[in-house]
């Protein structure tokens, strides 16, 4: 959704404003502590990177162990108790696996220096940022 904000030189088109920062007609401004602002004209080699966290294998093993332990304990208990234990084990495993969700990162070269523009586990917001950055770049460059 496009917005028009009043900047120092008049109106400025805002393509995105959210947790990642702000994408305007001329800049990508992060919400990082340093509040880095990147001129869109100086961005090159923009890349989307999707990676699993370094602990993914350990988290996956822990989730499998939780389910197996739940099944083993459930097998030793009564019928109703076993169902409850297995259900709790599956819910715990899903929670553990959620901790290993992928990280989405937007990287680029800014004035020949590699920078990380945005990183998140939220795929929907990541795609929204990328789509609006693409729109801003398309509108910036002559046809």
**Nearest by Cα to 21 from 8, 34, 35:** 35
Q: Is the dihedral of CA 39, 41, 45, 51 positive or negative?
A: positive
- Predicted TM-score (pTM) of the model is 0.66
Residue bearing the bigger pLDDT, 18 or 141: 18
pLDDT above 80: residue 133: yes
Render pLDDT for 69-101 as a digit per residue (tens, 0 to 9): 766 666 666 666 666 666 676 777 676 666 667
Q: How confident is the model over 54-83, as a mean pLDDT?
A: 66
């Amino acid at each position: 959704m496009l917005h028009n904000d009043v900047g120092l030189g008049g109106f400025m088109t805002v393509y995105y404003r959210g947790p990642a920062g702000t994408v305007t007609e001329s800049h990508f401004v992060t919400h990082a502590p340093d509040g880095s602002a990147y001129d869109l004209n100086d961005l090159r080699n923009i890349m989307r990177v999707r990676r699993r966290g370094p602990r993914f294998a350990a988290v996956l093993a822990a989730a499998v162990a939780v389910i197996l332990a739940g099944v083993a304990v459930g097998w030793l208990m009564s019928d109703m108790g076993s169902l409850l234990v297995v259900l709790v084990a599956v819910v715990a495993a899903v929670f553990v696996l959620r901790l290993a969700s992928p990280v989405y990162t937007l990287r680029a070269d800014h004035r020949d220096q590699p920078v990380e523009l945005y990183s998140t586990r939220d795929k929907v917001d990541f795609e929204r940022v990328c789509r609006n950055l693409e729109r801003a770049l398309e509108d910036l460059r002559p046809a």
